[in-house]
A = this chain, B = another copy of it.
Amino acid sequence: MTTQTRHHHGNLRPALISAGIDILEAEGISGLSLRKIAVRVGVSHAAPAHHFDGKIALLVAIAAEGFLIFSQMMEESRDKAAADPRSKLIGLCQGYLGFAAQHEALFELIFSTDVKNHADENLEKCSMQAFQLLQETCDLFEPSPHGNRSNAIMIWSLVHGYACLRANNKMVLFENETNTPLEMILPQMTPKTT
């Protein structure tokens, strides 16, 4: 009941995830260690082991949280956009790119091999939710003649690749077109008329 220092932290699991995100954003993936997280939360270096089955499991939990922020930014940006399908899609993609730019390390983490190779139910749920947003926004358009979902695959690939290449500074190869807006590279698709 009192707020004095207790032997039991009491809320350690979420605190570790939150501290992990902080360190991640400040120092990048390579600067993130279990022991640093433990110090920041004010707990012994072995404490995380009682809440996460190894470092990767903590990374996965952080990644799940990352997917939530990811979804949130995409949804918010889409909702702010005008009502027509193309504006909605561009808004969503701007959210995608915004997340990649503002949460560089987190973006790297959620698509990292470490995380992908560690099956986790909650992570699966959170990542599905993010891609569901993309899917349903693509569904505002007529399906491609090539198949129901090839629009979504194309858009997703396009915006993801664009985000990666921008993060890698590869776009500087294209001189001063560094900020090529989405409008230029998003292909024309026909909105549904329903």
Contact = CB atoms under 8 A, between A and B. Distances in A.
When all copies of this chain in the complex are counted, the total is 2
Interface size class of A (residues with CB under 8 A): 35 or more
Contacts of A161: 156-164
A131 interface: yes
B170 A131 contact: yes
A158 B6 CA distance: 53
A161 B144 CA distance: 19
Contacts of A160: 160-161, 164-165
B150 A184 contact: yes
Interface stretch (A13-21, A39-47, A73-81, A108-116): A108-116
5 contacts: A28-B113, A146-B185, A153-B174, A157-B158, A158-B158
